[in-house]
Amino acid sequence: MRLDLLTKLNEARAERRAAVLVTAMDGGAQRIVRAEALAGDALADPIDEALRSGKSGMVEHEGATYFLTVQVPPVRLIVIGAVHITQALAPIARLGGFDMTIVDPRTAFATPERFPDTPVIADWPETVLPPMKLDRYTAMACFTHDPKIDDPALEQALAADCFYIGALGSRKTHGKRIERLHAKHFTVEQTQRIHAPIGLDIGAVTPAEIAVSVLAEIILSLRKKPLRVEKAA
C-alpha cells in the first residue's frame, strides 16, 4: 500500500470516520473512499453495502473486479439511565460487539455493583457527552423518563447525527418531548429520527424483552439499507 493511502486510513481511524480502500484486481490500482464522500462514486452501492456490513470482500462492477478493504470505527452505544432495562441490555450488547457506556447522574442507580462489566458514569449528560464526541457510529438509547436527563442527551445525539436515537415513553410522553425539542429549534426532520416508543414492536413486556427489542432496532438501523418507501416516509 502506498504511504499516502496508509496515512489517509490512519487519519480516518483517528477521527472515527469510515473509509474503504478500493483495490482494482486488474493492475492493482488503489484509492481511498471515505463514507462522507460516497455520493457519486462509481462503486457507491457496493461500498455502501460493505460499510453497513463492516466486512471486506470482492465486488464486481462493469466487468471489473475490486477488493474492498473496509475500515469502520467501533460502534458505540450510549445508554442514558441505569435502570432495569439497561441491566438486561448490557450483557447482550456486549455479546453483539457494541462498546456500551451508561450515563446517569442518579448515584443510587449508576453504580459498578449493578453494572460490573460496563462503564458507568454518574454525571449529567450535558457534562459527559461533549468530550465523547458523538458521531454517526454512535447509538443512543434514553431510558430515564426524566426530561432533565433525557432531553439534553437527545439534543446532543440529534446534533451529532447519531445513526440510532431512541427514547422510552408513551406516544403522549413522546409528543411532549418533541414539542420541547422543537422549541429548542430542532426541525421536524431531525425529531422524526427518534425511535419512540423505543424498540421493535415485538410485544415486549419485561425489561429483558424490551432490551432485546431495543438492541434489534439498533442493529436494524446500523445494517439495513432503507427501502424507497421508508425514505419517502
**∠ at Cα 109 (107, 115), nearest 5°?**
110
Long-range contacts of 130-135 (CB under 8 A, 24+ apart): 130/156, 132/76, 132/78, 132/101, 133/16, 133/160, 134/78, 134/160, 134/162, 135/16, 135/17, 135/73, 135/160, 135/161, 135/162
pLDDT of residue 12: 87
pLDDT of residue 146: 95
* DSSP code of residue 202: S
**pLDDT tens by residue, 131-164:** 999 998 999 999 999 999 999 999 999 999 999 9
pLDDT (0 to 100) of residue 17: 87
pLDDT tens digits, one per residue of 28-78? 999 999 888 888 888 999 998 888 888 899 999 889 999 999 998 889 999
Cross-strand partners of 99: 76
Residue 86, pLDDT score: 98
| CATH for 76-223 (3.10.580.10, 3.40.50.720, 3.30.2130.10, 3.40.50.1820) | 3.40.50.720
User: Span 206-224, mean pLDDT?
Assistant: 94
Q: For the chain, give the mean pLDDT.
A: 92
Residue 53 phi/psi, 5° resolution?
-80, -25
Tell me: the pLDDT tens digits for 91-104?
A: 999 999 999 999 99
Confidence of residue 229 (pLDDT cuts 50, 70, 90): very low
Spans of all domains in the chain: 3-71, 76-223
CA count, 13 A, side-chain hemisphere, 192: 7
Type and span of the H or E element at 142: strand 138-142
Strands (DSSP E) found in 13-130: 19-24, 30-34, 57-61, 64-71, 76-80, 99-103, 120-121
- Report the pLDDT averaged over residues 205-215: 97
Q: Are 163 and 221 in contact (CB under 8 A)?
A: yes
Confidence at 230, pLDDT banded by 50, 70, 90: very low
